[in-house]
Amino acid sequence: MHKYMTLFLGVAFLAGCCFANDSTLFPKTSYKTAVGTEYVSAALIEKTWRTDPKADGTWPMPKPVDTSMYKDATDGVKGVVTASTPGSNKKEEVGCLFDNDQNTKYCTPNATPWVQYQFPAGVKPSIVAYAFRTANDAAERDPKEWVLQGSDDGKEWKDIDAQKGIEFLSRFEIQLFKLKAAVSYQYYRLVVKANHGGEHFQLSEIELFVNK
């Protein structure tokens, strides 16, 4: 028994040395944080990026997103929010996507729902960008592929933007998506095409931006 244990530990040690020192397999990547630049290996990212942040500081933080040049067009507007499927419970309904509270979320037992925001009659803001904020847990529910659409009547839709292969590095992370040209519609619809493998879909916040 002792002989086999020694052999096992020896092989494990050699394998660890080979992979730990291979900068080609695991190149270092920098992420800007509040306390400077933290360098983490690709191996560490692979092991941690789909989990919750850790208190010991090993979490690879994403770059901060500056949205100070924008205003959320849904703020202070009594729009109508609907979705293809309801939230998992009353605390996770679709309206939570537009409440400016990262501690709430829309979570639904549908991996590919659509979410619609209808501005009041006569209100057609000039949208130049939009942003998503991830929720508190379950990174496999994050959106990965989607289409953003616009409509003047809620019936005929035009594709505004499409994204594929989008990854989120942390919980409560904001990602900003700038449009190629400003658009003005009364209705906006997010059509989710894929998430990261979960049976549910969730987001904390959606913001539709106009220039200040």
Continuous segment of H or E residues that includes residue 133: strand 126-133
Residues of the chain falling short of pLDDT 50: 1-51
Paired residues of 151 in beta bridges: 187
pLDDT at 58: 53
pLDDT of residue 55: 63
**pLDDT score recorded for residue 208:** 98
Which pTM does this prediction carry?
0.73
Environment class of residue 94 by beta-carbon count within 10 Å: exposed (0-12), middle (13-18) or buried (19+)?
A: buried
| pLDDT at residue 169, rounded to an integer | 85
Which residues are CB-neighbours of 129 under 8 A, at least 6 positions away?
A: 67, 70, 176, 177, 178, 179, 209
What pLDDT sits at residue 142?
Answer: 97
CA distance 151 to 161: 13
